């Protein structure tokens, strides 16, 4: 039997505060007390403010921790974010409703150099996809003395719980559009499309430690070996982000849920290629782990007998080494690769882009140069803490000017050079 | 227990946590100076056990860096993969300009904690090797 998931998109045209939380006629009504009560179930959170930020409004959100799309499982096994918010159970089949156009954005000061800006208007809005979503923004403060590990976890769970709460409001709403994703097993795929090149997707997950973590069905990815996962599982929240660094090229939970590599491979499936499977692998700090994980990823590609593989990276610096190891080893077993990364090529774009390289890694898609300098205007309202702009990636001493404008590198913006290609930078 | 690795760091927090149990070569200094110390060890035969650019925090943000190396047997036994990796890390680091003439103490402490956390994620693997 095939794995089939239907995504039912409920198009959200506005978010408004109301006495009752509900979805009606495309409007997401939220009672902020519902959210505050939910978030404050966690005694580690002292306060929570709820704001709405709409596209075009003069609002800057910073520092952004995570962005999450509200979804609910309406048919089929499991619940959204299995092993974390939902019970441990297989997901990726049946039907899932999506509040399309809405997002939960979490902010909060975990450490003094917290990252990420979303501008809803102006120059900065051009670089983040989340200037186009209707955002429910949670600004949370911890109780005194909460350590960064616990603080990160508290904010992560608050965001997920809120997204699940909002998703639940769409359970009985008829979707505006339904998109179906079907995964054939290996045998059926080969029989059905004997003449099409078989392509795998290898997704690298950030997994280095505090504020650099990703969870798969609730398991810390650094404790995993490379494995096979169904792409539709990811649409139900099997992978979620605990990653708070390098905002430009980290994958938020929203990115995972909407992974464009998966969506594009499904679009091409049966036409120009046969999407033969998906492999997830980690990015650990220990070099032997890098060797082991890339060995394993290449072995799985070899075993699946694919003709090509797309490898996407997450983050800056040492993941370049994982990326190149993956590309090199997958090529060595006779599988063509294309890597997706971004670049730190200096402000003039003339420096070496990656911290590692190999002649076998000869096909690349880039998310852009994260060192590019941009100028952000003063906006009327700041949600969060603007004083961190001086100390977050891409900002620099004095980057926050007295008139409220900011001179910075584009890497300060959440999702600007995303390495899944979920971004707006293009050479076209 | 005698281990065949050592910890090279400019992070006092790492020294405090591991100094009694393991060999920790701690010296205050800049991020780049730390990488140069690692390079010197590599030129003397040490093999990198952790990546010199651990973490996605940029080299001009965090002042702290810790690297685990397998102790070398002298300059006649060079691990060339380690040479390439540390040189690439130094090149990458020099692309980023220093940004913090004065860093607030709380931010410094957070960077130190993150560096320690990243290295904690590898310590059990290193000690079992």
**What is the pLDDT averaged over residues A178-194?**
96
Phi, psi of A44 (to 5 degrees): -80, -15
pLDDT at A317: 87
Confidence of residue B128 (pLDDT cuts 50, 70, 90): confident
- Give the residue from B7, B11, B55 with the most A CB atoms within 10 Å of its CB, the best one to mutate: B55
Nearest-Cα distance to chain B for A182, in Å, is 35
From chain A, the residues in CB contact with B92 under 8 A are 317, 344, 352, 355
CA distance B88 to chain A (A): 6
Is the pLDDT at A160 greater than 80, yes or no?
A: yes
Interface membership of A288 toward B (CB under 8 Å):
yes
* Residue B97 touches partner A, C-beta closer than 8 Å: yes
pLDDT digits (tens, 9 = 90+) for B68-124: 999 988 999 999 999 999 999 999 898 877 666 567 888 899 999 999 999 998 998
Facing B111 at nearest CB: one of A113, A149, A356:
A113
What average pLDDT does chain A have? 94
Domain span at A318: 3-412
Instruction: Enumerate the residues of chain B whose CB falls inside 8 A of the CB of residue A284.
Output: 121-122
Q: A225 CB near a chain B CB, below 8 Å?
A: no
Q: Span B1-27, mean pLDDT?
A: 96
Examine the pLDDT at A293 and tell me if it is beyond 90: yes
φ, ψ dihedrals at A285, nearest 5°: -85, -25
Mean pLDDT, residues A388-409: 72
pLDDT at res. B125? 83
CA-to-CA distance for A37 and A65, rounded, in angstroms? Answer: 20
Residues of A in contact with B49 (CB under 8 A): 286-288
Say whether A244 is catalytic: yes
Predicted local confidence at residue B99, as pLDDT: 63
Chains A, B: CB contacts under 8 A, how many?
A: 130
pLDDT at residue A347 is higher than 90 = no
The pLDDT assigned to A111 comes to 83
CB contact under 8 A, A212 and B85: no
The mean pLDDT of B34-50, rounded to a whole number, is 97
Inter-chain residue contact A208 with B55, CB threshold 8 Å: yes
Tally of domains within chain A = 1
Task: Kindly report, residue by residue over A105-116, the tens digit of the pLDDT.
Answer: 999 888 877 779
In this structure, of A160-164, A172-176, A390-394, B114-118, the range with the lowest mean pLDDT score is A390-394
B20 touches chain A (CB under 8 A): no
State the pLDDT at residue A387.
Answer: 67
On whether any CB of chain B is under 8 Å from the CB of A355, the answer is yes
From B76's Cα to the closest Cα of chain A, the distance in A is 23
Cβ of B124 under 8 Å from any chain A Cβ?
Answer: no
Does A387 reach chain B within 8 Å, measured CB to CB? no
pLDDT at A133 over 70: yes
Q: Are A96 and A227 in contact (CB under 8 A)?
A: no
pLDDT of residue B96: 78
How high is the pLDDT of residue A333?
98
Task: Please list the helix, strand and coil fractions of chain B in percent, rounded to the nearest 5, in that order.
Answer: 45, 10, 40
Chain mean position to CA B11:
9
Per-residue pLDDT at A213 exceeds 70:
yes
Q: Which residues of B touch A349 (CB under 8 A)?
A: none
Q: Read off the pLDDT of residues B45-83 as tens digits, 9 standing for 90 and up.
A: 999 999 999 888 888 888 999 999 999 889 999 999 999
Residue of A nearest to B87 (CA): A355
Q: Please report the pLDDT score of residue A122 as a whole number.
A: 97
Q: What is the pLDDT of residues A305-319, one digit of tens each?
A: 999 999 999 998 899
Q: Is A353 a domain residue?
A: yes
B-chain residues near A148 (CB < 8 A): 110, 113-114
Please give the residue that has the higher pLDDT: either A355 or B101: A355
Which range, of A104-118, A120-134, A360-374, A389-403, averages the lowest pLDDT? A389-403
pLDDT, residue A244, reads: 86
Yes or no, beta carbons of B125 and A288 under 8 Å apart: yes
Interface ipTM above 0.85? yes
Q: Assess whether pLDDT exceeds 70 at residue A354.
A: yes
Which chain B residues have a beta carbon less than 8 Å from that of A352?
A: 91-92, 95
What pLDDT does residue A156 have? Answer: 97
Confidence of residue A209 (pLDDT cuts 50, 70, 90): confident
How far apart are the C-alpha atoms of B18 and B23, rounded to whole Å? 8
A420 in any annotated domain: no
Q: Residue A222 pLDDT more than 90? A: yes
What's the pLDDT band for A361 if we cut at 50, 70, 90? Answer: very high
pLDDT tens for A68-83 read 999 999 999 999 999 9
Helices B80-95 + B31-43 axis angle, to 10: 160
pLDDT in tens, A223-275: 999 999 999 999 999 999 999 888 999 999 999 999 999 999 999 999 999 99
Instruction: Give the pLDDT band of residue B25 (cuts 50, 70, 90).
Output: very high
**pLDDT value at residue A394:** 59
A112 touches chain B (CB under 8 A): yes
Please name the residue of chain A whose CA is at the shortest distance from the CA of residue B49: A287
- Contact of A344 with chain B, judged by CB distance below 8 Å, is answered with yes
Q: What is the pLDDT of residue B106?
A: 85
């Amino acid at each position: 039997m095939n794995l089939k998931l239907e995504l039912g998109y409920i198009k959200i045209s506005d978010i408004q505060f109301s006495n009752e939380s509900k979805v009606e006629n495309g409007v997401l009504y939220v009672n902020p007390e519902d959210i505050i009560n939910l978030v404050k179930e966690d005694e580690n959170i002292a306060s929570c403010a709820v704001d709405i930020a709409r596209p075009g409004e003069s609002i800057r959100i910073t520092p952004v921790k995570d962005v999450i799309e509200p979804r609910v499982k309406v048919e089929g096994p499991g619940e959204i974010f299995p092993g974390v918010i939902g019970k441990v159970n297989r997901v990726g089949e049946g039907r899932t409703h999506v509040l399309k156009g809405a997002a939960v954005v979490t902010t909060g000061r975990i450490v003094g150099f917290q990252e990420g800006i979303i501008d809803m208007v102006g120059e900065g809005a051009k670089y983040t996809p989340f200037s186009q979503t209707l955002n429910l923004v949670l600004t949370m403060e911890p109780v005194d003395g909460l350590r960064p590990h616990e603080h990160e976890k508290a904010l992560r769970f608050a965001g997920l719980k809120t997204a699940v709460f909002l998703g639940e409001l769409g359970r009985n709403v008829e979707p505006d559009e339904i998109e179906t994703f079907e995964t054939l097993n290996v045998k059926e795929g080969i029989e059905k499309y004997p003449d099409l090149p078989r392509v795998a997707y290898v997704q690298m997950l950030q997994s280095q430690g505090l504020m650099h973590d990703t969870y798969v069905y609730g398991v810390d990815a650094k404790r995993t070996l490379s494995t096979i996962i169904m792409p539709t599982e990811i649409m139900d929240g099997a992978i979620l982000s605990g990653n708070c660094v390098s905002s430009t090229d980290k994958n938020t939970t929203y990115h995972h849920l909407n992974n464009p590599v998966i969506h594009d491979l499904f679009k091409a499936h049966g036409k120009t290629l046969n999407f033969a499977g998906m492999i997830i692998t980690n990015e650990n700090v220990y070099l032997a782990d890098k060797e082991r994980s890339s060995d394993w990823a290449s072995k799985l590609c070899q075993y699946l007998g694919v003709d090509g593989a797309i490898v996407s990276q997450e983050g800056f610096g040492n993941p370049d080494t994982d990326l190149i190891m993956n590309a090199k080893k997958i090529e060595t077993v006779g599988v063509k690769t294309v890597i997706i990364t971004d670049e730190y090529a200096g402000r003039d774009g003339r420096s070496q882009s990656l911290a590692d390289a190999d002649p076998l890694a000869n096909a690349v898609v880039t998310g852009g140069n994260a060192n590019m300098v941009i100028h952000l205007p003063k906006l009327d309202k700041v949600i969060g803490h603007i004083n961190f702009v001086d100390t977050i990636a891409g900002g620099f001493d004095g980057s926050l000017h007295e008139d409220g404008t900011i001179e910075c590198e584009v890497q300060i913006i959440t999702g600007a050079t995303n390495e899944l290609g979920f971004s707006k930078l293009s050479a076209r | 227990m005698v281990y065949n690795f050592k910890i090279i760091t400019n992070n006092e927090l790492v020294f405090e946590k591991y100094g009694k149990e393991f060999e920790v070569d701690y010296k205050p200094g800049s991020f780049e100076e730390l990488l140069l110390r690692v390079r010197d060890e590599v030129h003397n035969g040490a093999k990198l056990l952790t990546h010199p650019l651990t973490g996605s925090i940029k080299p001009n943000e965090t002042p702290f860096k810790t690297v685990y190396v397998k102790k070398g047997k002298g300059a006649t036994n060079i691990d060339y993969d380690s040479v390439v990796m540390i040189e690439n890390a130094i090149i990458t680091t020099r692309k980023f300009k220093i940004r913090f003439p004065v860093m607030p103490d709380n931010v410094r402490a957070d960077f130190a904690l993150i560096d320690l956390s990243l290295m904690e994620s590898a310590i059990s693997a290193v000690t079992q090797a």
